[in-house]
Amino acid sequence: MFWLILLIVVAVLCALVLFLVAPAAGRKELRTPFAGRNFAHRGYFGKDQRPPENSLPAFAAAVQNGYGIEMDVQFSSDRKLLVFHDDTLTRMTGTKGWVRDYPYDQICQMPLKGSAEHAPLFSEFLQTVDGKTPLIIEIKSRHEYTGEYLDDLCHATLDGLKGYNGPYCIESFDPRVVKRIRKFAPQVLRGQLVDSYRAYRKEGANPIHAFVISHCFGNFMARPDFIAWCPDKQNWAVRLCARLGAMMVMWTALPEHDQAALEKQYDAVIFQWYHPEVKYK
């Protein structure tokens, strides 16, 4: 009787894990524009930030070189959708404070890394790319963003893409965002960004939250088509997602990484600071 009960418990736990981490089923036709490609992280820019990351010249350079583009969107205080990675303005502009607390007319007066460029609007980014290369669009989020704010952020991104004539997919570290893309735009390829347990703990996450989020336990909400994983060794849950058919994307490949090995292991690679082939499959 003990062994029977143990077997039932193990079976239930396995079923629960599968329910929590399983990616979307099928939809492989949506992957075609993105599979076997290298994507320039925040555009094609150098270590010297010339041109600066997430700037129009960096995006134009990526297009000119034939690369796909990965980039980031978030709101200013007046709900303008702009292209900017960090939560704060400090690293890229020297201005202290949260991006979300400044109106866009002030943000666009802040030079990126002392250049003549400023953070562009999402609409300006789309005009620059003009459908010429596949896009991986990351919607930035934080734990304090809830309900209406997340709804508005996702709707603003999707509304900006209406009429856009080019391939794109949407990803986020926040499974609540990916869930909303699943609800609002089920026809769009969606991805769950995942970092390692070690990285989440280093950022200050408590052990339970770090384990849950690093092991894709939010997939039951979003059922992502792809998992975008960091340079660390894949944990068992990420490997399970791959076995269950998820498209696998790597972020962010750097010059010191083994690019050939990454291209062999992953369906798409987001890279930075080197010059790979445009396609590898």
CA dist., res. 79 & res. 91, Å (int) = 22
Q: Is the pLDDT of residue 11 over 90?
A: no
In this prediction, residues 5-24 reach a mean pLDDT of 86
* Per-residue tokens: 157: 């991104």
| Cβ neighbours around 116 below 10 Å, total | 10
pTM of the model: 0.97
Fold exhibited by the domain 29-78+128-271: TIM Barrel (3.20.20)
In this prediction, residues 31-42 reach a mean pLDDT of 98
Quickly count helices (H) and strands (E) in the chain.
12, 9
Domain ranges of the chain: 29-78+128-271
CA dist., res. 35 & res. 28, Å (int) = 10
Task: Specify whether the CB–CB gap between 162 and 81 falls below 8 A.
Answer: no
Instruction: Give residue-wise pLDDT tens across range 60-86.
Output: 999 999 999 999 999 999 999 999 999
Q: What is the mean pLDDT of the chain?
A: 96
In this prediction, residues 175-192 reach a mean pLDDT of 98
| Residue 104 main-chain phi, psi, to 5 deg | -65, -30
Task: Specify whether the CB–CB gap between 57 and 123 falls below 8 A.
Answer: no
* Owner of token pair 């250049």: 115
